[in-house]
Amino acid sequence: MTMSFYHEKIIAITGAASGMGRSYATLLAQQGAKLLLSDVDEEGLNETIALVNALNRNQKVASMIMDVSQPEHWQQFKDLALAQFGGCHMLINNAGIEGAAQPFWASMETQIKQTMDVNFYGVVYGCRCFIPLLVKQDWASIVNISSIFGFIGTPNASDYCASKFAVRGYTEALMVELAHVYPQVQVHLVHPGGVDTDIARSQKTAKFKHKFLTTPSDEMCQVVLDDVVKNNPRIIYGNHAQKTYWLSKLLPLKQLKKIIAKGLALVDKNEYSPDHKGFQ
């Protein structure tokens, strides 16, 4: 069913230069979709475009270098969709950054703001900008990427968790609102577990990436695409994903906090000194 469902669908993907964004692009190219791709990484985006063209030479690919935290870039992305394809069926708000990867007292306000601007406001701008295109279709879909860290707060990720909790709340509200006005526009909230992507790039998160980010991105993205066809509103998949979801639902926070604290084994102990300058 999925192999033919996306044929000729016009699909916009942010963060397409690597990881899950590249996986969405290549999987959809194999199914004959028309792709609109963006990323801040020009070199990586060009590599994705080359892969997509090799997989599906029958469809034109449109692309642009784009910072999802800039509303004017979203307007240009929308204009590109109209100019190249005349509209859009599906928006995958995939772009994201890992955040400060520090405890909150060691984090700069500028880093926290950047994480929210990319991970949360990038989703908000995308939804607001593309909804006028999506509602014109007989079938359309918005796919917003939260995280299992949209269920729990973890050490060294207060800004990242805040952004993914925000995406979760925003998307859950959006799916209820749209269902009453344009029910043909599906809204999907994705909570990936530990997926093997390039989001954890810093030296500080190397141990975390090796231990936790193990699910292949193609596998994760194929599950999402299949669940969109089934109109499953919440999609939870990847290493530790279901486990984290159910622990967050079933355990009192007092007990959950003790389990989450095990993540402190992967952090820089120097940043957890009572003498840290962030406490002064």
143 Cβ contact partners less than 8 Å away, ≥ 6 residues apart: 90, 91, 92, 93, 94, 188, 190, 224, 228
DSSP one-letter code for 239? B
182 among known catalytic residues? no
Which alpha helices (DSSP H) does the chain contain, by range? 2-5, 19-30, 42-55, 71-85, 109-116, 122-134, 158-179, 206-212, 217-229, 241-250, 253-260
Q: How far apart are CA 251 and CA 94, in angstroms?
A: 30
Q: How far apart are CA 252 and CA 271, in angstroms?
A: 28
Check 24, 121, 160, 245 and give the catalytic one: 160
Residues known to be catalytic: 160
